[in-house]
Structures are given as C-alpha cells and as structure tokens.
C-alpha cells in the first residue's frame, strides 16, 4: 500500500545545502564530476569537488579515487552551485532532466548509511519537511525490522528514488571488488595500513586515477 507520494516543495532548509549543525556530504562518482564540471562551465555556475573515497596504490604511486563530494563550503550559502537561490530548485534537473542529476540527488530523500565494508543501510532524511509531514508513515517504516521490509517500503513509496539508491549501493559494492581484482592481477597494491605520514607525503605528490566501471 502506498502511503507517501514524495514531492519536493523547495523548502527553506534545502537538501542541496548544509543545514545548521549538519555535517553533510553530497557524494559524486568520478564520471558525475566530469559531467557536472562541464555543466558548470556551460551554465557559468560555481562548482568544485573534494576527493572523498581514496585508496593509495603503492605499486604505481597513484591515488585511486572511488568517489568525490561536492565542496559545499566553497559558497557562503554552503549550497551546491547548481541550486537556484530563489526557489531552491536544481538547475540540472530543470534544464536537463532528473536522470542527469547525480545518483545521490536522484535518490533523495533516501540516503545510505555505511554500516561496514559490505553492509549498507537505506534510511530517509528526516531533515526534509516532506518526511516530517509524513511522520506517521515514517514511523511505520521505523517499525519495520528486516532489511527486506524496509526496502519493500521504500521501493513502494519512493520507486524512482529507490532505484537510484540501489544503483549507488551496487556501485559502492563494485569498488572493493574492483580493487581486489586489480590486486589479484598484480596491477596495483593497496596496503591494509597507510599512515598519516604516508598520506601527507602521497596526497600532494601522487597522480589520481578515477575508478569507473568500464574504464578498465
């Protein structure tokens, strides 16, 4: 039974900006960064990213990048440069369509929590007023105990968002598998331990290689 019909109303505490007291990351996969950097030039928007999920490859002395995050702190508003200040809408969605947005933006208000290297959990961002307005339905979801039940609830009530969230989970699962495969082929060597001193030396000096499926 569908009990929520998700609709963004461009609220005063938009998800595309850091809210007060919030520690926010808007994750991007490398190919999404390339696309958004191009759009930023086309649309003359401020946009920058920071590396997020990185792995040192001591064999080739490069840093492998699994994901980035939008550098929200770059603007005084702490908002993504593609967010329209007047109505909090996304310019990418408005001009190019929903499917051109990064996957995490397509998945919102479903967010993903990393429990451990192999376990990810879906949850709903209660910072979105839509979720607050549907707090009874949300509470019903909180009563669901198994992963299958929670996923069933999300799939039914947020079909588009759940599909995107699922793609993110699959992509995140691909990263360690790809690293293991490259190690087994003897192409890279990612140590279990990499000290703060080693990072301090590697970060400014080593080249970057993005981890992208199909770019093998």
Q: Which CB sits closer to ligand SF4, 29 or 82?
A: 82
When asked if residue 15 is in the footprint of ligand SF4 (CB under 6 A), the reply is yes
Among 18, 102, 165, 211, binds ligand SF4 (CB under 6 A): 102
CB of 8 to ligand SF4, least distance (A): 3
Q: Which of 16, 103, 110, 182 binds ligand SF4 (CB under 6 A)?
A: 16
Cα separation, 109 vs 121, whole angstroms: 14
Q: Which of 2, 10, 181, 189 binds ligand SF4 (CB under 6 A)?
A: 10
The 3 state secondary structure assigned to the chain is CCCCCCCCCCCCCCCCECCCCCCCCCEECHHHHHHHHHHHHHHCCCCCEEEEEEEEECCCCEEEEEEEEECHHHCCCCECCCECCCCCCEHHHHHHCHHHCCHHHHHCCEEEEECCCCCEEEEECCCCHHHHHCHHHHHHHHHCCCHHHHHHHHHHHCHHHHHHHHHHHHHHHHHHHHHHHHHHCCCCCCCCCCCHHHHHHHHHHCEEEECCCCCC
Q: Contact letters (x/-) for ligand SF4, 173-212, by CB under 6 A?
A: ----------------------------------------
Looking at 4, 27, 65, 80, which residue binds ligand SF4 (CB under 6 A)?
A: 80
Contact status: 66 vs ligand SF4 (CB under 6 A): no
Can residue 129 be called a binding residue for ligand SF4 (CB under 6 A)? yes
Q: How far apart are CA 141 and CA 124, in angstroms?
A: 9
Which of 24/155 has CB closer to ligand SF4?
A: 24
Among 4, 49, 105, 141, interactor with ligand SF4 by CB under 6 A: 105
Q: Which of residues 63, 64, 90, 124 is near ligand SF4 by CB under 6 A? A: 90
Nearer Cβ to ligand SF4 (33/64): 33
Quick check: 152 binds ligand SF4 (CB under 6 A)?
A: no
């Amino acid at each position: 039974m569908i009990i929520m019909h998700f609709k963004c109303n461009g609220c005063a505490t938009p998800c595309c900006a850091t809210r007060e007291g919030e520690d926010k990351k808007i994750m991007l996969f490398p190919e999404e960064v390339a696309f958004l950097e191009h759009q930023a030039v086309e649309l003359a928007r401020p946009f920058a990213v920071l590396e997020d999920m990185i792995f040192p490859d001591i064999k080739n002395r490069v840093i492998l990048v699994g994901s980035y995050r939008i550098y929200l702190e770059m603007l005084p508003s702490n908002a993504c440069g593609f967010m329209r200040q007047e109505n909090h809408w996304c310019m990418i969605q408005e001009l190019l369509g929903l499917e051109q947005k990064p996957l995490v933006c397509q998945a919102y208000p479903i967010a993903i929590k990393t429990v451990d290297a192999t376990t990810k959990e879906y949850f709903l961002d209660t910072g979105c007023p839509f979720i607050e307005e549907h707090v009874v339905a949300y509470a019903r979801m909180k009563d669901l105990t198994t992963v299958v039940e929670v996923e069933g609830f999300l799939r039914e009530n947020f079909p588009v968002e759940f599909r995107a969230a699922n793609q993110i989970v699959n992509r995140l699962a691909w990263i360690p598998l790809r690293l293991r495969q490259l190690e087994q082929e003897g192409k890279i060597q990612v140590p279990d331990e990499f000290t703060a001193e080693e990072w301090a030396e590697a970060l400014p000096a080593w080249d970057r290689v993005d981890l992208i499926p199909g770019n093998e």
